[in-house]
Amino acid sequence: MTHDDEVIGKAYDSRLMRRLMTYLRPYRSQVALAVVAIIGHSVLELAPPYLTKIVIDTYIPARDRSGLAGIAAIYLAVLTGSFGLEYLQTWTMQATGQRIMFDLRMQMMTHLHRLDLRFYDRNPVGRLMTRVTTDVDVLNDLFTSGVVSVFGDVFTLIGIMAVLVWMDWRLALVAFSVLPLIALITQWFRVNVRESYRTVRMWIARINAYLQERFTGMSTVQLFRREARDYDAFDEIDRRHRDANVDSIFYYAVFYPAIEFVSALAAALILWVGGGWVFDNALTLGALVAFLQYSQRFFRPISDLSEKFNVLQGAMASSERIFHLLDTPAEIEVGKRDRSTGRPLSDPGASVTSAPGTIRFENVTFSYGDGEPVLRNVSFDVHPGQRVGIVGATGAGKTTIVSLLLRFYDVQQGRITIDGVDIRDMDLLALRRLFGLVLQDVYLFSGTIASNIRLGDATMTDDTVRRALDAVHASTFVDRMPQGIDAPVVERGSTLSAGQKQLLSFARALAFDPRVLILDEATSSVDTDTELLIRDALTVMMRGRTTVAIAHRLSTIQDMDRILVMHRGELREAGTHQELLAARGIYHRLYQLQFESAAGIAAVRGA
Amino acid sequence: MNTFDPRRRLLRQLMRYRRAFLPGFLCVIVTTSLSLTGPWVLRYAIDDLQTALTLGKVRLYAVALLGLAAGAGLFRFLMRRIIIGASRNFEYDLRNEFFAALQRMHLGYFQQTRTGDLMSRATNDLSAVRMMIGPAVMYSATTGLTFVVALVLMWSIHPWLTAVALVPLPFVTLAVKYFGSAIHKRFERIQEQLSDVSAVTQESLAGVRVVRAYGREHVELELFRRANEEYVQRNRALIRLQGMYFPSMGLLMGIGALLVLWIGSREVIAGRMTVGALVAFNAYLMMLGWPMIAFGWVTNLLQRGLASWKRMLEVLDAAPAIHDPEPSDRAELTDIRGAIEFRHLTFGYGDHVVLRDVSLVIPAGTTTAIVGATGSGKSTLLSVLPRIHDAPPGTVFIDGVDVRRIPLATLRGAIGFVAQEPFLFSTSIADNIAFGVRVDETTRERIEAAAAIARLDKDLSGFPKGYDTIVGERGITLSGGQKQRTAIARALAVDPKILVLDDALSAVDTHTEEEILQRLGAVLRHRTSIIVSHRVSTVRGADQIVVLDEGRVAEVGTHDELVRRGGLYADLSRKQMLEDELAAS
């Protein structure tokens, strides 16, 4: 199995490149400015050798000291201009690159917030993080050092060639005679380096995978006394990686000296041929010196160009992964869509009426992926103001009911309606606004107590926050904190106890004053005092609200209006506590189980 | 143990590669000298052209120029191969040592240290150390040498002009220093903001259910937009400065060249210097430019490399908490029979006490079952046996010998251990089963026999590739039950005297469990076994059942004895009968 992070794509893919270029479009004027600056800079860079020529050919023979001062002044102007243009170019291009990265990250994040939960089930958060941060940064290299400097390099090459031809086209031809050699060397280098780069990357990936696995499974390794054999296996991978690297050193070690040698060859040819012409007065000495200096500058961009290859290759691989993410369609859209064509409808979706509606599951069947259905043909009603409890063993499908109601997933068969309207025809945000959800594992964001209640709703007053905290008895511990509701909460609320986190999530649900309350009771055990607080808070919250509660402790739901008993994805029993007990079915056994074990342990401990 | 200064440690490590570095430095000297001779030849060539000597001589210079370039190129090639090659060897050895050091660490170390952190040391830090001893060393040597020799040569051409050419040098040094530290500061601010961006992303993606349920997508996006904007702003602050770096260098270097051309030409007019000398002087000045720029870069590599080297030493020098007994203390056990005893064992992690005064005798060849609630200390009790965790001396014995005195290889070789959540490796099923087996011609038979007992054979016949099926990372392609049974086969394949099953059948269905227990029966006859389970059906046949409650031994006896006693075990047994009834409905 290959992980898509390890796949190394082509070095250049015109389809990807064209798509990348579309991100430049909003910044057309900046890009144009940068290009003009690059060209200007390249032209000015051509000046110094030519100034040297003038000095040697004109002013030194004429012993013209004031002329020299004039040249110095021009030189200074060229330097200053060159400085300004280079800075302008770097700044414009890199700053624009940053804006493009900003746009790209926003686009990805917006898309991620649109994708449905099935996508999140398949993709670990770590991988998504890599897309948004690392991959985008790799792409940035393309804009900052890759594309632009390649353009500059190419322009410098063209400029030098033009000046050489203009000064003396015959000697220029002599200098250019080494170009085929350059082309050959570069081609040889490019092909081999790409190949060895791939090999090195492959071995690095193997090393990382091996280390990652052994680090996590080290105690298994030790228990089975595999250390020596594992060391040998690792040594083998490590050695192959080194050998691959040593191979790639060979190509670099040949390439740079070879280019330098060709550059010297060009200089020697210029001296050999041009020297003869100077001798015959067919060429000035200054022109010869200028030619020699230009030939030196000529080869630098060429070796630079080859180095850009790795940047390009990495950027292509990253952009491929980014686009793959952006192209993943969202199965559940915020706006209402025509269910047969999938096209958005102009109608924003059946508006949600202000009166609390009747929730109805009609023959709902659902499975995650292609496996066994988690829910089979489930039908039930929840009437306005009713309090309904759902019980059943782990894996009976209780949590799935909640996920479907909130459209985290869409049903595969049957339908869910509110006041007779299919929830798939409703505006998604309006639908979710109906519910106040308390999840099994409470998720707290880093921020403050208040920000975790508000969840970014700026219109919610401190007063509302406090009242919500009061109502669920969370004030008892919040007030003890020095900063009160502004007390900091770290990531995932890890400094708070399980009970405190539960109370906060109650307050959060209550603060939004939802029409329907959905509770997925936490399984984690809390101390008796907190347990009592939680139970009391639940009563407060349910008062006057339609409630759907998933319970693990039967005591929570004993006095509910209706209890649904789920068993292996099917709704097996429904009724009040007393009715269900009297029926002596599954509920009765579940009840006995909890009662028996609780009583049993108490008896033993007490003994 | 090693309280050496990290730099001294590094030097000592490097001494191993002196055979490579010495010829490497020799190549540096040769290639630099040859490169520096080039402009000198040019000087005579141009002067000769002016004074109209023979054309033949000029052509001789051309050939000499080519010869010098060839020689310089050859030695440059050798230099790179030798020095960078040595740095790759260094990297290879160090990575192996790093791996070996971690192989000696106990489980607790891996629990305290995040895998990501170790990985980062094995990759980023190692690479930074290599850059320090490879490219950084190579470039410092070439640039340092070039700098000194070029200056001397320039001085010999025209001392006063050399001084003029060096006018920008102090500014260059200042600029390098200023930009270096300022860029570093801004870079750190970017890194801080990047971790902010990551944190925001992480939170809003990990909390996706809450975000969706409360319709907070726009709030999260706004938070992200702000973090992203700040990140861009800080990057732009860096660019504003960094974008200035190379142009400034170009400007300062250019001013040097300008002064040389201007004043040098006046010297030529005054007859104190030839045109050839001026051209050569200019060429040397060009050669000086690179070392000045490279200086900042190399310093940076060295600083980073040294910091990384220290981080690597933290791992390389960490003393393993669990190791072989000292030779004087070593008990030579040739054949372990498998009698186990825990004597007043109290054990905990830090302040958290898990086992309290546990005493238990497990005679060789018997089966002991352990039951108890989550957190009652079952797994911990098992883990001190093969010394995954170390119990205090004098508390855990095998055949009457303290396990801390038995060589680790002997001890662990005698124990077949199946953990609660077995860790499988991403190879074939056959390789996973044979994980602890020395490969020989009987390996295949052993694998198949072990797989048959673990009832894995019937699953394997359904896989197209059978035993050669690759199990994927952590055995992801297998079901929970298949993973557990593979782990059981893996433990059986080593033919251990003591078999430890830590809730190893929890994900196996009851019917298969029954079959496995039956088959195990024959195998266990000659072995000591400890089986942890929640299921009464699994433990009822054991010679003795131990009930742990909050780290203490609450009850010991056979199934019938304990049921009659009416304690914790009897309660568990009753509860399970109800559950079975429920499952059947």
State whether A600 and B578 contact (CB < 8 Å). no
Q: B384 Cβ partners below 8 Å, 6+ apart?
A: B345, B347, B390, B391, B395, B396, B403
Mean pLDDT estimate for chain A: 83
With beta carbons under 8 A apart, name residues in chain B contacting A217.
423, 425
Per-residue pLDDT at B575: 78
Confidence of residue A221 (pLDDT cuts 50, 70, 90): confident
For an interface test with A, the pick among B63, B218, B251 (most A C-beta atoms closer than 10 Å) comes out as: B251
Q: Which tens digit of pLDDT belongs to each residue from A243-299?
A: 999 988 899 899 989 988 998 899 899 988 988 888 888 888 899 989 988 888 887
* Residue B282 forms part of a structural domain: no
State whether A226 and B436 contact (CB < 8 Å). yes
Same domain for B97 and B179, yes or no, is no
Q: Which tens digit of pLDDT belongs to each residue from B239-271?
A: 888 888 888 888 988 898 899 999 999 999 998
Q: Which residue type is seen at B251?
A: L
Same domain for B3 and B74, yes or no, is yes
With beta carbons under 8 A apart, name residues in chain A contacting B197.
105, 132-133
Q: A13-22 long-range contacts, Cβ below 8 Å, gap at least 24?
A: A13/A316, A13/A320, A16/A316, A16/A319, A16/A320, A16/A323, A17/A316, A19/A319, A19/A323, A20/A139, A20/A142, A20/A319
Q: Which tens digit of pLDDT belongs to each residue from B99-139?
A: 999 999 988 888 777 777 888 888 888 988 998 888 888 88
* Residue B277 forms part of a structural domain: no
Q: Which tens digit of pLDDT belongs to each residue from A65-109?
A: 889 999 999 999 999 999 999 999 889 988 999 999 999 999 999
* Residue A250 forms part of a structural domain: yes
Range with the poorest average pLDDT among A118-127, B152-161, B281-290, B380-389? A118-127
State how far residue A481 is from chain B, nearest Cα, in angstroms.
Answer: 24
Tell me which residues of chain B, numbers 162 to 181, contact chain A at a CB-CB cutoff of 8 Å: none
For an interface test with A, the pick among B202, B287, B322, B446 (most A C-beta atoms closer than 10 Å) comes out as: B202
Tell me which residues of chain A, numbers 305 to 364, contact chain B at a CB-CB cutoff of 8 Å: none
* Burial profile A463-492: b = 16 or more Cβ within 10 angstroms, e = fewer: ebbbebbbbbbbbebbeeeeebbebebeeb
Separation in Å, CA B571 to CA A437, A586, A590, B566: 37, 20, 16, 7
Confidence of residue B1 (pLDDT cuts 50, 70, 90): very low
Of A218, A264, A439, the CB nearest to B65: A264
* Residue A369 forms part of a structural domain: yes
Range of the domain at B575: 338-414+497-585
For an interface test with A, the pick among B105, B228, B447, B555 (most A C-beta atoms closer than 10 Å) comes out as: B228
Residue ending a domain, among B476, B495, B514, is B495
Per-residue pLDDT at A370: 64
Per-residue pLDDT at A484: 86
Same domain for B201 and B230, yes or no, is yes
Per-residue pLDDT at B395: 94
Q: How many domains would you assign to chain B?
A: 4
State whether A589 and B257 contact (CB < 8 Å). no
Whichever domain contains A95, its CATH number is 1.20.1560.10
* Residue A359 forms part of a structural domain: yes
For an interface test with A, the pick among B42, B49, B417 (most A C-beta atoms closer than 10 Å) comes out as: B49
Mean pLDDT calculated for residue range B154-176? 87
Mean pLDDT calculated for residue range A17-28? 90
Which residues make beta-bridge pairs with B203? none
Q: How many domains would you assign to chain A?
A: 4
Residue B375 has pLDDT above 80, yes or no: no
Residue ending a domain, among B469, B495, B521, is B495
Q: Which tens digit of pLDDT belongs to each residue from A134-175?
A: 888 888 877 777 666 777 888 888 899 999 999 999 999 998
Residue ending a domain, among A256, A282, A308, is A282
Per-residue pLDDT at A523: 55
Residue A601 has pLDDT above 60, yes or no: no
* Residue B333 forms part of a structural domain: no
Residue B489 has pLDDT above 70, yes or no: yes
Range with the poorest average pLDDT among A343-352, A500-509, B31-40? A343-352
Mean pLDDT calculated for residue range A514-527? 74
Q: Which tens digit of pLDDT belongs to each residue from B401-436?
A: 999 999 988 999 899 999 888 888 888 999 999 998
Same domain for A28 and A140, yes or no, is yes
Range with the poorest average pLDDT among A182-186, A217-221, A399-403, A494-498? A494-498
The DSSP-derived string for B362-402 is E-TT-EEEEEE-TTSSHHHHHHTTTTSSPPPTTSEEETTEE
Per-residue pLDDT at B583: 66
In total, the C-beta contacts within 8 angstroms joining chain A to chain B are 370
Same domain for B68 and B152, yes or no, is yes
State how far residue A12 is from chain B, nearest Cα, in angstroms.
Answer: 27
Same domain for A246 and A133, yes or no, is no
Mean pLDDT calculated for residue range B276-288? 88
Same domain for B226 and B182, yes or no, is yes
Same domain for A409 and A519, yes or no, is yes
Of B65, B84, B474, the CB nearest to A267: B65
Which residues make beta-bridge pairs with B564? none
Query: What spatial distance separates the first Cα and last Cα of chain A, rounded to whole Å?
Result: 57
* Residue B331 forms part of a structural domain: no
State whether B243 and A87 contact (CB < 8 Å). yes
Same domain for A158 and A181, yes or no, is no
* Residue B164 forms part of a structural domain: yes
Per-residue pLDDT at A125: 78
Q: What is this structure's pTM? A: 0.76
Same domain for A194 and A237, yes or no, is yes
Q: Which tens digit of pLDDT belongs to each residue from B466-488?
A: 888 888 767 767 777 888 899 99
Same domain for A24 and A72, yes or no, is yes
Residue ending a domain, among A168, A193, A223, is A168
B138 contacts B279 by C-beta, under 8 angstroms: no
Per-residue pLDDT at B486: 92
Residue B15 has pLDDT above 70, yes or no: yes
* Residue A491 forms part of a structural domain: yes
Tell me which residues of chain A, numbers 65 to 104, contact chain B at a CB-CB cutoff of 8 Å: 65, 68-69, 71-72, 75-76, 79-80, 82-84, 86-87, 90-91, 94-95, 98-99, 101-102
As a whole-number percent, the residues of chain B with pLDDT over 90 amount to 35
* Residue B327 forms part of a structural domain: no
Residue with the larger pLDDT of the pair A448 and A496: A448
Per-residue pLDDT at B324: 87
State whether A90 and B52 contact (CB < 8 Å). no
Confidence of residue A354 (pLDDT cuts 50, 70, 90): low
Confidence of residue B77 (pLDDT cuts 50, 70, 90): very high
Residue with the larger pLDDT of the pair B576 and A88: A88
- A269 DSSP 8-state letter: H
**Token code pair at residue A486:** 């502004």
Per-residue pLDDT at B28: 93
* Residue A151 forms part of a structural domain: yes
Residue A364 has pLDDT above 60, yes or no: yes
Range with the poorest average pLDDT among A152-166, A212-226, A548-562, B549-563? A548-562
Rounded Cα distance, B154 and B160, in Å: 10
A499 contacts A530 by C-beta, under 8 angstroms: yes
Q: B489 φ, ψ to 5°? A: -60, -40
Range with the poorest average pLDDT among A101-110, A345-354, B73-82? A345-354
State how far residue A14 is from chain B, nearest Cα, in angstroms.
Answer: 28
Same domain for A376 and A363, yes or no, is yes
Same domain for B185 and B302, yes or no, is no
Residue B393 has pLDDT above 50, yes or no: yes
State how far residue B535 is from chain A, nearest Cα, in angstroms.
Answer: 15
Residue with the larger pLDDT of the pair B117 and B345: B345
Rounded Cα distance, B69 and A265, in Å: 8
Pairing of strands B340-349, B352-362: antiparallel
State whether B201 and A132 contact (CB < 8 Å). yes
Range of the domain at A231: 169-282
With vertex at residue A14, the alpha carbon angle to CA A87 and CA A249, rounded to the nearest 5 degrees, is: 70
Per-residue pLDDT at A478: 87
Rounded Cα distance, A88 and B333, in Å: 78
Same domain for B152 and B103, yes or no, is yes
Partner A contacted by B243 (CB < 8 A): yes
Rounded Cα distance, B88 and B74, in Å: 21
As a whole-number percent, the residues of chain B with pLDDT over 70 amount to 97
Same domain for B19 and B131, yes or no, is yes
Same domain for B64 and B113, yes or no, is yes
Residue ending a domain, among A131, A150, A168, is A168
For an interface test with A, the pick among B293, B418, B435 (most A C-beta atoms closer than 10 Å) comes out as: B435
Q: B145 Cβ partners below 8 Å, 6+ apart?
A: B28, B29, B32
Same domain for B431 and B509, yes or no, is no
Same domain for B472 and B578, yes or no, is no
Query: Closest-CA residue in chain A for B80?
Result: A253
Residue A339 has pLDDT above 60, yes or no: no
Residue A603 has pLDDT above 90, yes or no: no
Residue B199 has pLDDT above 60, yes or no: yes
Same domain for A399 and A499, yes or no, is no
Same domain for A29 and A133, yes or no, is yes
Same domain for A202 and A79, yes or no, is no
Whichever domain contains A549, its CATH number is 3.40.50.300
* Residue A6 forms part of a structural domain: no
Residue A326 has pLDDT above 90, yes or no: yes
Same domain for B527 and B551, yes or no, is yes
A437 contacts B213 by C-beta, under 8 angstroms: yes
Residue A399 has pLDDT above 80, yes or no: yes
Mean pLDDT calculated for residue range A406-410? 89
Rounded Cα distance, B345 and B394, in Å: 9
* Residue B486 forms part of a structural domain: yes
Confidence of residue A7 (pLDDT cuts 50, 70, 90): very low
Q: What ipTM was predicted for this assembly?
A: 0.84
Whichever domain contains B129, its CATH number is 1.20.1560.10
Same domain for A23 and A137, yes or no, is yes
* Residue B210 forms part of a structural domain: yes
State whether B239 and A72 contact (CB < 8 Å). no
